[in-house]
């Protein structure tokens, strides 16, 4: 008798998780897009893709956030594209704009320096507001207060395959709090002192919220392995620069709203690093998720084909490509999954591994 082959999530869950038109329950969740009015076309493309590949069968709500009011045109077109309810929120200035305790002289000279050095978005003020908002404020917006889960969507992304399950249901039933599809290295020049601040906080926290035995710290810090398993040295600190690419993320809002997350964020924010440097929400989420959560609470959704320029992820299994009607090529140059730019091998080795298969 052959042993049961169950390394593939699809084999294990086709009946439980495939959409059943007459008998299914939505989770308490929303699709979430922070977006500018001028990005309407890109927003509609992303919506069209996600509706077609997933949401037309589920009709989850869409939540749109903006630091200025949405135009009538934006609201009309996106509401028409949504299969569920669509709601629109204006971000309060306090949650978006540069705080007045930022030293303006220092700020101006720092961003000029980063721009001159050719750092990506190094000279942008609004990009910094966006990264800080996505790190510490999106989950506190009133429109999200009654939801448990969000699925972040950006303009101009594409989902290559039919979803084989409702990812929100996986989150709920498997007790997952953070889900990703792509993990890569951050540009070190955007976060020169982020890890120093994190190490300081680890001392302050003193093991209260951070459990180094059960968390995913080994995924983001593996200096001892550099040169041994991974020939490319990416980093000067013991943070290896690995981060979950946050333009796709599915998360538990209650985790982000928790005291442990907010305390950690406020500590980082108080250094001014979001403005004097250019800390991205991706490394911030990733570090806090990897330190505060149990590593089994993080999930790699490995069946969801996805692209956001300049990278793709695409399932490699042939039967899966057929079953999920994928329109992607795992051999394409843009496919990041097992290239040297990807942290996925580190995730497999030092992250949660096959925790998807275990009961939470
Ligand atoms: P990138 O993916 O790092 O190149 O950054 P994006 O330009 O895609 O920005 C990330 C997300 O924030 C996208 O959903 C954008 O639509 C959104 N975003 C960026 N800047 C602003 C802004 O100034 N206002 C608003 N409302 N959304 C923004
Ligand atoms: Mn983007």
In a domain, 5, yes or no: no
What tokens does 137 get?
A: 């404020």
Of the listed ligands, the closest to the CA of 120 is: 1
Closest CA to 182 of 333, 302, 64: 302
Which CATH number belongs to the domain containing residue 243 in this structure? 3.90.550.10
Closest CA to 18 of 191, 213, 167, 165: 165
In a domain, 21, yes or no: no
- HSE at residue 221, side-chain half, CA atoms within 13 A, is 15
Ligand 1 cavity residues, CB under 6 Å: 34-36, 39, 66-67, 126, 130, 154-155, 247
Kindly give the number of the ligand 1 atom that is closest to the alpha carbon of 280.
3
Pocket test for ligand 1, best of 35, 88, 98, 151 (most atoms within 8 A of CB): 35
- What pLDDT is stored for residue 354 in this prediction? 56
Q: How far apart are CA 159 and CA 305, in angstroms?
A: 6
In a domain, 55, yes or no: yes
Peptide bond into 290 cis (omega under 30): no
What tokens does 109 get?
A: 């000279």
Q: Do residues 186 and 283 make contact, with C-beta atoms less than 8 angstroms apart?
A: yes
Kindly give the number of the ligand 1 atom that is closest to the alpha carbon of 39.
16
In a domain, 234, yes or no: yes
Q: How far apart are the first and last CA of the chain?
A: 29
- What pLDDT is stored for residue 43 in this prediction? 99
In a domain, 336, yes or no: yes
Q: 240 lies in which domain range?
A: 26-357
> Domains in the chain: how many in total?
1
Any bridge partners for residue 65, and if so which? 34, 89
219 sits in which H/E element: helix 217-220
How far, in Å, is the centroid of ligand 2 from the Cα of 132? Answer: 15
Q: How far apart are CA 275 and CA 21, in angstroms?
A: 48
- What pLDDT is stored for residue 24 in this prediction? 74
Give helix then strand counts, H and E, for the chain: 16, 12
Which stretches of the chain drop beneath a pLDDT of 50? 3-18, 224-232, 356-360
Q: Do residues 311 and 334 make contact, with C-beta atoms less than 8 angstroms apart?
A: yes
- Cα 148–chain centre separation: 16
- What pLDDT is stored for residue 44 in this prediction? 98
Kindly give the number of the ligand 1 atom that is closest to the alpha carbon of 126.
23
In a domain, 1, yes or no: no
- What pLDDT is stored for residue 229 in this prediction? 44
In a domain, 10, yes or no: no
Whether 249 is catalytic:
yes
- What pLDDT is stored for residue 232 in this prediction? 47
In a domain, 321, yes or no: yes
């Amino acid at each position: 008798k052959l042993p049961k082959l169950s390394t593939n999530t699809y084999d294990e869950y086709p009946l439980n998780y495939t959409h059943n038109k007459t008998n299914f329950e939505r989770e308490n969740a929303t699709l979430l897009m922070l977006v500018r009015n001028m990005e309407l076309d890109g927003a509609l493309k992303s919506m069209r893709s996600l509706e077609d590949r997933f949401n037309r069968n589920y009709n989850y709500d869409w939540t749109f956030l903006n630091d200025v009011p949405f135009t009538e045109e934006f609201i009309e077109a996106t509401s028409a594209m949504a299969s569920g309810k669509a709601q629109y929120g204006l971000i309060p200035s306090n949650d978006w704009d540069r705080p007045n305790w930022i030293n303006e002289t220092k700020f101006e000279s720092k961003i000029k320096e980063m721009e001159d050095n050719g750092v990506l978005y190094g000279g942008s003020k609004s990009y910094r507001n966006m990264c800080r908002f996505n790190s510490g404020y999106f989950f506190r917006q009133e429109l999200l207060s009654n939801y448990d889960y969000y699925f972040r969507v950006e303009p101009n992304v594409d989902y290559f395959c039919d979803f084989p399950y409702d990812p929100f249901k996986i989150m709920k039933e498997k007790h997952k709090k953070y889900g990703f599809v792509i993990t890569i290295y951050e540009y070190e020049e955007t976060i020169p002192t982020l890890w120093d601040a994190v190490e300081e906080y680890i001392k302050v926290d003193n093991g209260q919220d951070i459990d180094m035995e059960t968390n995913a710290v080994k995924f983001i810090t593996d200096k001892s392995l550099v040169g041994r398993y991974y020939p490319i040295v990416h980093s000067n600190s013991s943070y290896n620069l690995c981060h979950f690419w946050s333009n796709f993320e599915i998360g538990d809002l209650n985790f982000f709203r928790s005291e442990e997350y907010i305390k950690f964020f406020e500590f980082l924010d108080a250094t001014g690093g979001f403005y004097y440097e250019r800390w991205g929400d991706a490394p911030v989420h990733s570090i806090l998720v990897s330190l505060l959560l149990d590593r089994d609470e993080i999930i790699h959704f490995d069946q969801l084909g996805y692209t956001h320029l300049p990278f793709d992820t695409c399932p490699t299994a042939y039967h899966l490509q057929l079953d999920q009607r994928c329109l992607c090529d795992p051999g394409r140059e843009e496919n990041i999954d097992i290239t040297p730019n990807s942290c996925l091998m580190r995730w497999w080795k030092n992250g949660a591994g096959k925790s998807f298969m275990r009961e939470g």
